[in-house]
Amino acid sequence: MKRLREEFDADLITTDTSTDYRSTTNRYEIPCSVCGKLLFVDAETKRDFDRSIEHDLDNTFTCYECEEEYDGLAFE
């Protein structure tokens, strides 16, 4: 299977690591703040989410589809 050059870059930043299914890495459920869809995330993202809830901050976690839709509307 061929991979893109970006997949080999050491400075690659992956922002969306959530999945629609539970995996060994993504074991924790978090709802999307826009559509309410349940997504599975890793322990670090869950910790950040819990920390923001403890400090009475809004849920800022959005799924990939909602983020793309928002970016498209902001572009127009």
- Segment 3-35, tens digit of pLDDT: 666 566 666 666 657 889 999 989 999 999 899
In this prediction the pTM is 0.69
According to the model, what pLDDT value does residue 11 have?
63
According to the model, what pLDDT value does residue 53 have?
84
| Residue recorded with tokens 């793309």 | 68
Alpha-carbon distances, residue 5 vs 2, 10, 11, 15, 17 (angstroms): 10, 11, 12, 18, 19
Selection from 11, 9, 10, 29 nearest residue 19 by Cα = 29
Give the Cα separation of 54 and 51 in Å (integer): 5
- Segment 29-72, tens digit of pLDDT: 999 989 999 999 999 989 988 888 888 777 778 888 999 998 88
Tell me the domain boundaries of the chain: 15-75
According to the model, what pLDDT value does residue 22 have?
93
Selection from 31, 39, 26, 24 nearest residue 60 by Cα = 31
